[in-house]
Amino acid sequence: MDCHILIIDDDRDLCTLIKECAAKEAINADYCQSGMAGLAMLEKKEYHLILLDVMMPGLDGFQTLEKIRSKSNIPILMLTSKDDTTSKIYGLRSGADDYLTKPFNMEELIARIISLIRRYTRFNGAGNGYRPLIYEGLSIDFDSRSVTTKNGTFDLPPKEFDVLLFCAKNQGRILTKQQIYEEVWKETYVYDDSNIMAIISRLRKKIEPDPGAPFYIQTIKGIGYRFNKEV
């Protein structure tokens, strides 16, 4: 791989270690120790992925995440020593694409970085030339990884786009949370629904005419979700 990532973490030793491990996979890493410094670096250089620590002095990871998401859909993998579900769900609802709790296995971290970059960035060239999927009031574009609704055209963060695309491709079919998770996250389902629920919630706020009464992504109670077969 030949790409650039940004590490925003106040643990300098950890940043150095990640940088060294990433370099073995031809991944170039820059790092800084605060949210404000990270935002400044993002203004000067383009990156393919951000590793973002939650517990930082000043502008914490959640606040930094929200500021990044207001301008960019770059893949973001959050790092935190917090192992509570509330923090995890908050990060995912705010726009994080993945979440890894410290201490973590360095090989797992690098594997997740590579997976996110391969799946969600377009540094290998243009898209595949597929025609957009068009439904009533909604268009999903493969090449630009964007959606068009009556409110306009906008990009979706990586995980949101892949969840939507998987559901849309299986229009009318009831998909379990396990099926969605294993397709999108490419890892074994461990009965943790918070990722999927957060993604679906964010998607509905963006594409549904009325998020409180979903038209496109319908909930099948006790099972999972279904993309409306009537659209």
Query: pLDDT tens digit string along 180-220?
Result: 988 888 888 776 667 788 899 999 999 999 999 999 999 99
pLDDT recorded at residue 21: 95
**131 DSSP 8-state letter:** P
**Residue 133 in this model has a pLDDT that exceeds 90:** no
Residue whose tokens read 């939650």: 54
Is 50 in contact with 8 (CB distance < 8 Å)?
Answer: yes
Quick check: 22 pLDDT over 60? yes
Alpha carbon distance 115, 162 (integer Å): 13
Nearest to residue 220, comparing CAs of 173, 181, 169, 182? 173
Question: What was the pLDDT predicted at 185?
Answer: 82
Q: Tell me, what's the pLDDT at 1?
A: 59
* Residue ranges of domains in the chain: 4-122, 133-227
Q: Alpha-carbon torsion 1, 155, 72, 185, what sign?
A: negative
More confident call, 9 vs 181: 9
State the pLDDT confidence band at 152, using cuts at 50, 70 and 90: confident
Report percent pLDDT > 90 for the chain.
49
Over the chain, what is the mean pLDDT? 86
Which carries the bigger pLDDT value, residue 129 or residue 156? 156
pLDDT for 39-72, tens place per residue? 999 999 989 999 999 989 899 999 999 999 888 8
- Give the residue carrying structure tokens 């679906």: 200
pLDDT at 193: 67
Say what the pLDDT of residue 4 is.
93
pTM score over 0.75: no
Length of the chain measured in residues: 231
143 SS3 class: coil
Tell me the C-alpha to C-alpha distance, in Å, between residue 30 and each of 69, 81, 101: 20, 21, 21
Domain 133-227 fold: Arc Repressor Mutant, subunit A (1.10.10)
Strand duo 152-155 + 146-149: pairing: antiparallel
Weakest mean pLDDT among 42-46, 79-83, 171-175, 201-205: 79-83
Q: 177-184 vs 158-169: helix axis angle to the nearest 10?
A: 120
CATH code for residues 4-122:
3.40.50.2300
| Token duo for residue 202 | 């964010």
